Amino acid sequence: MSNHLEQLRQQLDSVNTELLELINQRAGIVQQIGKVKEKQSINRYDPVRERKMLDELTEKNNGPFENSTIEHIFKEIFKASLELQEDDHRKALLVSRKMKPEDTIIDIKGEKVGNGDLQHVMGPCSVESYDQVAQVAEAVKRNGVKLLRGGAFKPRTSPYDFQGLGVEGLQILKQVADEYDLAVVSEIVNPVHVEKALDYVDVIQIGARNMQNFELLKAAGEANKPVLLKRGLSATISEFVNAAEYIISQGNGDIILCERGIRTYEKATRNTLDISAVPILKQETHLPVMVDVTHSTGRRDILLPAAKAAVAIGADGVMAEVHPDPAVALSDAAQQMNIPTFDHFMNELDAFAPRGTMQK
Ligand code: PRE
Ligand code: MN
């Protein structure tokens, strides 16, 4: 190679080094700005400021790069800066792995969730009667499942649909759960009901429609009971994680995240099960993650493969709905399993991913 080319390349190498130092020096200032913005709750993205910088730069530009090229290069730098600020913000969250590298393990009446073993949550969509819950609880118990779900307060799409039995429903759940030595998971929809519900439930569920009900999240954050937080039907993973942050910021870190499908254009399932959310949530947070196969798929015929996918990808448990006679269920009739189907489902799932072995 010619001596001249070699010399020019050496010059470029030292310019590269200077650029590298400058670009990282800039990034350091950007991080400080990010912290100030965070404290003052200012939007990180500032297009007016970006436009001003681009105008000043193009005014000073003497070439040989065209103004459009300079704008393009600096716009990329601004984009990377914004990502850096967002990344710093994510890592600063109390639910983040950065804050707490080890897994959160939740104790529910002596049962552990998040310790690497599987813990499933099964039960009817709605509590309808003592007999209905007791029949399901018998099957749940027989299949070695410890967490019994059931809805007493039902946030339904239509106000004319069955709204649940309320406190009476919670009383039924508690009575049955005590008889079968199970723990109760039930949804609370109103912040003022949280305290009262603590007499009956072992886990407070916050449903998809309430994922951004911030007063409810705060009330659950003040409670001394674990919270199962479902992903909102149109929530991004970041919004989901921030909803959990509302709970932990009030002092309650016993949170189970539950992926339950998101709304997309696809009509073949009730929602689209975002299975990739599971490993992302496990990587980004230290919280246990479950998958609700009933509400995500809305289809009895694919509950089992969806559940297998959930455990294969690293979920800490699966949630599904069971009813003694789904055809006459007061809610979600199309997707609940009857008891023989549930028995088969549990046998197959256990064969695929045995419980009690800490296999992960
Ligand atoms: C910065 C980053 C993102 C904003 O959209 C605008 C500007 C930049 O890289 O210059 C820094 C910044 O956050 C700011 O000046 O407010
Ligand atoms: Mn349901």
Residue that is last in its domain, among 39, 67, 92? 92
In this prediction, residue 157 has a pLDDT band, given cuts at 50, 70 and 90, of: confident
**Which SS3 state, helix, strand or coil, does residue 271 take?**
coil
Best probe residue, ligand 1, of 74, 76, 81 (max atoms within 8 Å of C-beta):
81
The answer to whether residue 326 scores a pLDDT higher than 80 is: yes
Question: Mean pLDDT over all residues of the chain?
Answer: 95
Q: Could you check whether the bond before residue 288 is cis, i.e. omega within 30 degrees of 0?
A: no
Whether 12 and 114 share a structural domain: no
Predicted pLDDT at 358? 61
Please report whether residue 338 resides in a domain: yes
- The answer to whether residue 97 sits within a structural domain is no
- Does the beta carbon of 33 lie inside 6 Å of ligand 1? yes
Instruction: State which of 31, 39, 44, 49 you would mutate to test the pocket of ligand 1, scoring each by most atoms of that ligand within 8 A of its C-beta.
Output: 49
Query: Around Cβ 240, how many Cβ atoms within 10 Å?
Result: 26
For 333, the 3-state DSSP assignment is coil
Least confident of 57-61, 201-205, 352-356: 352-356
CB atoms within 10 A of CB 224: 8
For residue 334, the model assigns a pLDDT of 85
188 and 332 fall within a common domain: yes
- Residue 53, domain extent: 3-92
| pLDDT of 47 strictly over 50 | yes
Same domain, residue pair 211 and 343 = yes
Percentage of the chain surpassing pLDDT 90? Answer: 90
Domain harbouring 250, CATH code: 3.20.20.70
pLDDT at 359 over 50: no
160, with CB counted inside 10 A (0-12, 13-18, 19+), is: exposed
203 forms beta bridges with 185
| Residue 305 in this model has a pLDDT that exceeds 60 | yes
- 3-state SS, 196-262, equals HHCCCCCEEEECHHHCCCHHHHHHHHHCCCCEEEECCCCCCHHHHHHHHHHHHCCCCCCEEEEECCE
Domain limit, last residue, from 34, 65, 92: 92
Q: What number is the ipTM of this complex?
A: 0.83
CA of 17 to the centre of ligand 1 (A): 23
The model's confidence at residue 163, banded by pLDDT at 50, 70 and 90, is confident
Quick check: CB of 26 below 6 Å from ligand 1?
no
Q: How many structural domains comprise the chain?
A: 2
Best residue among 33, 55, 88 to mutate for probing ligand 1's pocket (most ligand atoms within 8 Å of CB) is 33
Kindly state whether residues 57 and 206 are assigned to the same domain: no
Of 98-102, 242-246, 330-334, the range with the lowest mean pLDDT is 330-334
| Overall average pLDDT of the 321-332 stretch | 93
Nearest CA to ligand 1 atom 8: 78
pLDDT tens digits, one per residue of 195-239: 999 999 999 999 999 999 999 999 999 999 999 999 999 999 999
Ligand 2 centroid to Cα of residue 208, in Å, is 11
Of 92, 121, 140, the last residue of a domain is 92
Residue of the nearest CA to atom 9 in ligand 1? 78
* Same-domain status, 122 and 45: no
Indicate if ligand 1 lies below 6 Å from the C-beta of 46: yes
Angle, to 10 degrees, between the axis of helix 214-222 and the axis of helix 237-248?
40
Residue 227: how many other CB atoms lie within 10 Å: 25
Q: Are residues 59 and 146 in the same domain?
A: no
In a domain, 52, yes or no: yes
49 Cβ closer than 6 Å to some ligand 1 atom: yes
What pLDDT is recorded for position 258? 98
Together in a domain, 166 and 288: yes
Residues 264 and 345 in one domain: yes
Please identify, by atom number, the ligand 1 atom nearest to the C-alpha of residue 30: 11
Q: What is residue 360's predicted lDDT score, i.e. its pLDDT?
A: 44
Sequence-separated (6 or more) residues with CB below 8 Å from residue 170: 127, 152, 184, 186, 197, 199, 200, 201
* Rounded-to-integer distance, Cα 115 and Cα 332, Å: 31
What pLDDT shows up at residue 2?
81
Ligand 2 center from residue 117 Cα (angstroms): 25
Q: In this structure, are 54 and 120 located in the same domain?
A: no
